[in-house]
């Protein structure tokens, strides 16, 4: 595993698409790229790559059949944790969290950089604060709002990361590889 781990509440798979190793990502609310049975009949999670929805974008209407569970034939749903969702199959995320805990045991001086986490869905903010590590919050719109941090950068993600990288270079750390 690498020198960084991503913990995200985003369900769009953006970090894996951006080049982060799937082995170093925790998707705490699941992923749109995976399906589960609506009734969770077999407690299985499947890759959604074979489901190719045909959509009338103008009318926001699904034209193709709904995805089906191969075990019971019922409707399949995205493997995403919704609010008050007692039917979510969380085993994939639990495995990701186990990998994170194993990785965390190998890190001596962690730093948490929280980017864009909002107070409306506080999963990421609570997680970052729970690690008892220096926390840098990057968010142009929402200040601390009751979740402590060591540094708050009221800027966008790119500007915040660029500022941190600039400080590291000024402190004598080598410039990160592009």
Note whether 16 and 48 are same-domain residues: yes
Note whether 89 and 144 are same-domain residues: no
Note whether 137 and 58 are same-domain residues: no
Note whether 42 and 100 are same-domain residues: yes
Residues 6+ apart with CB under 8 A from 109: none
pLDDT of amino acid 178: 53
pLDDT of amino acid 147: 64
Q: State the chain's mean pLDDT as an integer.
A: 90
pLDDT of amino acid 145: 62
Note whether 94 and 139 are same-domain residues: no
Note whether 66 and 135 are same-domain residues: no
Note whether 102 and 113 are same-domain residues: no
| CATH code, domain carrying 152 | 3.40.50
Indicate the residue among 85, 107, 129 that finishes a domain.
107
Note whether 68 and 120 are same-domain residues: no
Per-range mean pLDDT, top range of 72-76, 109-113, 121-125: 72-76
Indicate the residue among 107, 122, 138 that finishes a domain.
107
pLDDT of amino acid 176: 55
pLDDT of amino acid 71: 96
Give the gyration radius of the chain's Cα atoms: 19
Average pLDDT of the residues in 64-80: 96
Residue 46 has pLDDT above 70, yes or no: yes
Note whether 65 and 125 are same-domain residues: no
Note whether 151 and 121 are same-domain residues: yes
Assign 3-class secondary structure to the chain. CCCCCEEECCCCCHHHHCCCCHHHEEECCEEEEEEEECCCCCCCEEECCCCCCCEECCCCEECCCCCECCCCCCEEEEEECCCCCCCCCCHHHHHHHHHHHHHHCCCCCCCEEEECCCCCCCHHHHHHHHCCCCEEEECCCCCCCCCCCCEEECCCHHHHHHHHHHHHHHCCCCCCCC
Residue 84 has pLDDT above 60, yes or no: yes
pLDDT of amino acid 177: 57
The domain in which residue 103 lies consists of 1-107
Note whether 98 and 135 are same-domain residues: no
Average pLDDT of the residues in 122-127: 84
Number of domains composing the chain = 2
């Amino acid at each position: 595993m690498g020198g960084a781990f991503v913990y995200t509440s985003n369900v769009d798979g953006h970090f894996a698409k951006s080049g982060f190793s799937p082995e170093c990502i925790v998707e705490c609310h699941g992923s749109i790229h995976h399906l589960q049975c609506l009734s969770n009949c077999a407690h299985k999670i499947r890759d959604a790559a074979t489901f190719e929805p045909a959509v009338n974008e103008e009318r926001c209407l699904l034209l193709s059949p709904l995805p089906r569970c191969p075990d019971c034939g019922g409707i399949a749903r995205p493997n995403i944790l919704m609010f008050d969702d007692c039917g979510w199959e969380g085993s994939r995320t639990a495995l990701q969290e186990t990998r994170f805990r194993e990785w965390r045991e190998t890190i001596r001086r962690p730093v948490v950089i929280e980017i864009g986490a909002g107070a409306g869905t506080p999963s990421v903010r609570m997680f970052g604060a729970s690690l008892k590590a220096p926390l840098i919050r990057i968010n142009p719109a929402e200040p601390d709002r009751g979740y402590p941090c060591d540094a708050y950068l009221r800027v966008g993600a790119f500007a915040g990361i660029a500022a941190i990288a600039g400080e590291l270079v000024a402190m004598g750390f080598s410039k990160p590889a592009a």
